[in-house]
């Protein structure tokens, strides 16, 4: 059913064809396909080679991946390197605005970007459930390829394993990506540098990824135009850093949402953070959907937004740099760091009240990424 | 049941205490533990932080992992770099001679080693099934820590996700590691350099990993002393390369076994390979177990063996270098490359016959790594 929902969204919405055009026909083909993943596709034998040759390499192939050796040899990087990994278990595999393939690329590219790194290479390991339609795999791989192209980074190493069919209604998959990036010497992102008076900037409208996935899962298809914001942020961070802004803290509000990230900021910087609810960019569709689902948008995951802390004197430069980029059009200053002790996060509400913002305790939204 | 089987093996056998001592008490504790993994442990909120603080960081923590940032910043490497990834789905999680944690570290360290790289850093992403005893997680993390220590490499980045309980009798987990290594300029591992007359060397007794896992799965507990050979091979490859041997092809016979790897060698080098069955090191226990399970040991996975192709003039130096290392004691010359066309792999049998060795078609042994 979730695959069907995807179409409704995809047809209604004007989402990026670069990332999602393959999804429309791909998931339709998957539904009708007879070809399914077998245990033997993950066995490392002839059938694994055929799967790679017919499905993976035509989509992701490059000089490093094609030889199917144990690893990719890359030239010596120009500076310090950044190394990161993320596992992706999102359900359903496709959701309004993206799928697990886009997410797996963007999640890791964004981890690199938030460390101030320029992505050099990604790895991609897939654990497929037996019975997964091969056309679904193809569609996910198309998304991986499109997202990697958008981020300007190659998949240079990979692995494919197959496990028995799980408990879910449809056979699924999980993807783990790792990323390697290069960090320029001028980047110094340490929360310890944050000081009272520094301002907090968000690059755009919040909560769209988590709400889009939850809408798909809850069948709220016709209620909303909401799409996941999943996107690679390395271009946006490069622009921000190139503008000469003294970025002291740079993170993306994924799991745990803006609330979780602000709690991290207060913890790590050792200063309080004061946020103005009225300044937090959020679309009417997101507000409406959060209301329908009974969720606090502050705790909902984003996959294409960054939060930066910069000196107040750099605020305008930072916001202008972000707004010039298509992914930063709605960038806004939402608050500032203060010396009120102990270090806490306070929200000045629209109604003029104050409330404490806390890190969500556990799983507001399971399997959101 | 599989957890119980692990004890029988562990107690009967003299396997490496460095890697496995934690396993004995750990898996016992896991069986009795009431603490289980919840969805919320993977949600990125407070419960995720507590899990990391109480279970992951005390075991794996270091200056790169402890800050729990989006990625690790490492100094500029001294040479070309190698980047690799592998997903591990072995069942049962613990098997005679190791567990999924040891395997996840060694598998990726060995991929780096087979590219001629010195491991610099690993990442570790875990996908846990809801209901997994936290004591089982602790035991796996102990194994990860011990294996990483043995290989001399740190886990610098990680991720933890939780999915619903699957179809298996016990809640399980999968682990994906990625690895980063440094490659010296003198290393030139290209199958195109292989020529007729070059010799094929294996570093020790074959088929032990796959047979140990299958024995555990089939309940052959009291029939055999067989342990998985899982071990980090970076020390062995460093010794081989330091001996000045002109290594042209270096690979570990994992999934697909020796047969799959020799087929790769013939394909990639474009030359035939002739192997003598009588020279292939294999223990009586492995022969016996393969016979009981109806398996061809040539197609069974190894996790602590390497295969090297070197000029005949370097054969003796190579074998001596390998034999001086504890993991290479049984190293042997098992065959040579020839110019018989088309490029095939031929086995000279003990009985004096010849048979073609082919890549296993699919999944001889599901979920072996």
Q: What is the mean pLDDT of residues A106-130?
A: 97
Residue in chain A lying closest to B111 (CA): A70
Is B297's Cβ below 8 Å from some Cβ in A? no
DSSP bridge pairs for A347: A275, A355
Mean pLDDT (chain A) is 89
CB contact at 8 A, B207 and B140: no
Q: Mind telling me how many Å the CA of A343 is from chain B's nearest CA?
A: 17
- In this structure, the answer to whether residues A160 and A251 fall within a common structural domain is no
CB within 8 Å of B369: residues ≥ 6 apart: B86, B88, B89, B90, B103, B107, B209, B254, B255, B301, B303
> SS3 sequence, A267-328?
HHHCCEEEEEHHHCCCCHHHHHHHHHHCCCHHHCCCCCCCEEEECHHHHHHHHHHHHCCHHH
Half-sphere exposure of A268 (CA within 13 A, CB side): 21
* Yes or no, beta carbons of A81 and B87 under 8 Å apart: no
Of the ranges A27-31, A82-86, A249-253, A269-273, which one carries the lowest mean pLDDT score? A27-31
* B10 shares its domain with B158: yes
Q: What's the pLDDT score for residue A168?
A: 80
Can you read off the two tokens belonging to residue A276?
């103005």
pLDDT of B204: 98
| Range scoring the smallest mean pLDDT among A8-22, A146-160, B23-37 | A8-22
Does A121 lie in the same domain as A71? Answer: yes
Residue A71 has pLDDT above 60, yes or no: yes
Based on the fold, state whether residues B179 and B255 are members of the same structural domain.
no
- Same domain, yes or no, for B174 and B219? no
Residue of A nearest to B108 (CA): A70
> Residue B12: pLDDT above 60?
no
Who among B85, B117, B165 is closest to A123 (CB)?
A: B85
pLDDT digits (tens, 9 = 90+) for B80-118: 999 999 999 999 999 999 999 999 999 999 999 999 999
- pTM of the predicted model, to two decimals? 0.89
Q: Which residues contact B313 (CB under 8 A, 6 or more apart)?
A: none
**pLDDT tens digits for A129-176?**
999 999 999 999 999 999 999 999 999 999 999 999 887 888 999 999
Provide the pLDDT for residue A183.
95
CATH number where B83 lies? 3.30.1330.10
β-bridge mates for residue A199, sequence order: A310, A336
Mark whether A195 and A175 lie in a shared domain.
no
Chain A residue numbers touching B81 (CB-CB < 8 A): 73-77, 81, 180
CA distances B218 to A174, A199, B92, B213, B221, Å, are 28, 62, 11, 9, 8
Boundary of a domain, candidates B139, B154, B183: B183
Question: Measured between beta carbons, which residues in chain B are less than 8 angstroms from residue A345?
Answer: none
Quickly list DSSP for A169-233.
SS--EEEEEEEEEEE-TT----GGG--TT-EEEE-S--SHHHHHHHHHHHT-TTT----------
Q: Tell me, what's the pLDDT at B9?
A: 30
Which of A156, A311, A121 shows the shortest CA–CA distance to A234?
A121
Residue B46 sits at the chain A interface (C-beta within 8 Å): yes
Of B250, B249, B205, B256, nearest in space to B231 by CA: B205
Backbone angles phi, psi at B329, to 5 degrees: -55, -35
pLDDT over 80 at A291, yes or no: yes
B87 with A160: Cβ contact below 8 A: yes
pLDDT at A252 (0 to 100): 96
Interface membership of B185 toward A (CB under 8 Å)? no
| Residue B112 within a domain | yes
Nearest Cα residue in chain A from B44: A255
Contact at CB, A115 and B70, closer than 8 angstroms = yes
Burial category of A75 from C-beta neighbours within 10 Å (exposed 0-12, middle 13-18, buried 19 and up): exposed
Is residue B261's pLDDT more than 50?
yes
Note whether B80 contacts A79, CB cutoff 8 Å: no
Residue A49, pLDDT > 70, answer yes
Judge: A112–B70 Cβ closer than 8 Å, yes or no. Answer: yes
Residues ≥6 apart with Cβ < 8 Å to A269? A191, A192, A194, A249, A309, A337, A343
The answer to whether position B10 is within a domain reads: yes
Contact criterion met (CB below 8 Å) for B9 and B96: yes
B44 touches chain A (CB under 8 A): yes
φ and ψ of B14, to 5 deg:
-100, 45
Residue B168 C-beta-side C-alpha neighbours within 13 Å: 23
The mean pLDDT value for A172-197 works out to 95
Instruction: Identify the residue with better confidence: A73 or A167.
Output: A73
What's the domain range around B176?
Answer: 2-183
B49: confidence class by pLDDT, cuts 50, 70, 90:
confident
pLDDT score at B333: 98
Nearest CA in chain B to A114: B70
A247 pLDDT above the threshold of 90? yes
Q: How confident is the model at residue A16 (pLDDT cuts 50, 70, 90)?
A: very low
CB contact under 8 A, A89 and B47: no
The Cα–Cα gap between A326 and A229 comes to: 12
- The verdict on B84 and B156 lying in the same domain is yes
pLDDT band at A8 (very low <50, low <70, confident <90, very high): very low
Which comes out higher in pLDDT, residue B13 or A147?
A147
Q: Please check whether residues A223 and A127 belong to one and the same domain.
A: no
Q: If residue B107 lies in a helix (H) or strand (E), which one and from where to where?
A: helix B100-114
CA distance, residue A185 to nearest chain B CA (Å): 11
A77 inside 8 A of chain B by CB: yes
Q: Rounded to whole angstroms, how far apart are CA atoms B315 and B321?
A: 10
A79 to chain B, any CB pair closer than 8 A? The answer is: yes
Out of A54-68, A215-229, B43-57, B115-129, pick the least confident: A215-229
Q: Could you tell me the pLDDT band of residue B13, with boundaries at 50, 70 and 90?
A: very low
Residues A334 and A217 in one domain: yes
A292 CB within 8 Å of a chain B CB: no
Same domain membership, residue B143 and residue B61: yes
Taking the CA of residue A325 and the nearest CA in chain B, the distance in Å comes to: 23
Pick the residue of A68, A76, A85 with the most B CBs within 10 A to test the interface with B by mutation: A85
pLDDT in tens, B303-315: 999 999 999 999 9
Which pLDDT score, from 0 to 100, does residue B42 have?
Answer: 87
Q: Which residues of A touch B167 (CB under 8 A)?
A: 164-167
Q: Does residue B17 sit within a domain? A: yes
| Per-residue model confidence (pLDDT) at position B365 | 73
Q: Which residue has the higher pLDDT, A42 or A307?
A: A307
Does the pLDDT value for residue B30 go beyond 80? Answer: no
Regarding whether B258 and B169 lie in a shared domain, the answer is no
State the pLDDT at residue B111.
97
Instruction: Give the pLDDT score at A70.
Output: 83
**pLDDT the model gives residue A80:** 95
Residue B366 inside a domain? The answer is no
Chain A residues whose beta carbon lies within 8 Å of the beta carbon of residue B186: none
Count the domains in chain A: 2
Contact B7, B20 (CB under 8 A): no
Q: Is residue A29 pLDDT above 70, yes or no?
A: no
The pair of structure tokens assigned to A238 is 């490069």
> Is A366 a domain residue?
no
**Are residues B247 and B143 both part of a single domain?**
no
- Contact B84/A38, CB-based, under 8 Å? no
B347: domain CATH number is 3.90.650.10
Count contacts between A and B (CB, < 8 Å). 283
Note whether A232 and A328 are within 8 A (CB): no
Give percent of chain A with pLDDT exceeding 70: 89
Distance from the Cα of A24 to chain B's closest Cα (Å) equals 27
pLDDT surpasses 80 at A21: no
Residue B245 tokens read as: 């041997």
How far B14 CA lies from chain A's nearest CA (Å)? 30
Mean pLDDT of B171-175: 96
Of A114-128, A351-365, B87-101, minimum mean pLDDT range? A351-365
pLDDT tens figures, B135-163: 999 999 999 999 999 999 999 999 999 99
Domain boundary, last residue among A156, A183, A210:
A183
Give the pLDDT score at B1. Answer: 29
Q: Is A237 inside a domain boundary? A: yes
Contact A362 B82 (CB under 8 A): no
| Cα dihedral B34, B40, B41, B46 sign | negative
| pLDDT for position B223 | 57
Average pLDDT across chain B, whole number: 89
Q: What's the distance, Cα to Cα, between the start and end of chain A in Å? A: 19
Q: Hey, of B38, B42, B45, B302, which one would you mutate to test binding to chain A, going by the most A CBs within 10 A of its CB?
A: B45
Q: Where does a domain end: A155, A183, A211?
A: A183
Does any domain span residue B87?
Answer: yes
- Is the residue at B211 inside a domain? yes
């Amino acid at each position: 059913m979730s695959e069907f929902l995807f179409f409704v969204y995809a047809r209604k919405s004007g989402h990026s064809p670069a990332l999602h055009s393959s999804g429309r026909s791909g998931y339709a083909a998957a539904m009708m396909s007879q070809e399914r993943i077998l245990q033997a596709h993950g066995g490392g034998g002839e059938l694994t080679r055929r799967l790679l040759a017919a499905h993976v390499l035509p989509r992701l192939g490059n000089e490093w991946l094609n030889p199917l050796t144990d690893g990719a040899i890359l030239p010596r990087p120009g500076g310090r390197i950044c190394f990161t990994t993320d596992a992706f278990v999102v359900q359903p595999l496709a959701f309004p605005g993206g799928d697990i393939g886009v997410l797996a690329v963007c999640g890791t590219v964004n981890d690199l970007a938030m460390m101030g790194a320029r992505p050099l290479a990604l790895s991609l390991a897939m654990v497929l459930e037996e019975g997964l339609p091969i056309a679904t795999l193809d569609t996910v791989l198309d998304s991986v390829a499109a997202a990697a192209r958008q981020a300007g980074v190659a998949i240079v190493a990979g692995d494919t394993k197959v496990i028995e069919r799980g408990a879910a209604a449809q056979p699924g998959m999980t993807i783990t990506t790792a990323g390697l990036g290069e960090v320029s010497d001028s980047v110094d992102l340490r929360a310890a540098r944050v000081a009272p008076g520094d301002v907090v900037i968000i690059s755009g409208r919040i909560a769209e990824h988590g709400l889009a996935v939850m809408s798909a899962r809850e069948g709220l298809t016709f209620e909303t135009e909401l799409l996941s914001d999943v996107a690679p942020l390395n271009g946006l961070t490069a622009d921000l850093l190139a503008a000469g802004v003294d970025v002291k803290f740079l993170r993306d509000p994924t799991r745990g949402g803006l609330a979780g990230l602000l709690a991290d900021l207060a913890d790590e910087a050792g200063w309080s953070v004061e946020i103005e609810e009225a300044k937090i960019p959020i679309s009417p569709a997101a507000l409406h959907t959060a209301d329908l689902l009974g969720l606090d948008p502050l705790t909902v995951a984003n996959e294409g937004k960054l939060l930066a802390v910069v000196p107040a004197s750099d605020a305008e430069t930072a916001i202008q740099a972000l707004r010039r980029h298509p992914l930063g059009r709605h960038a806004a200053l939402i608050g500032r760091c203060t010396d009120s002790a102990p270090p806490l996060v306070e929200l000045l509400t629209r109604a003029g009240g104050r409330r404490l913002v806390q890190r969500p305790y556990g799983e507001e939204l399971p399997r959101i990424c």
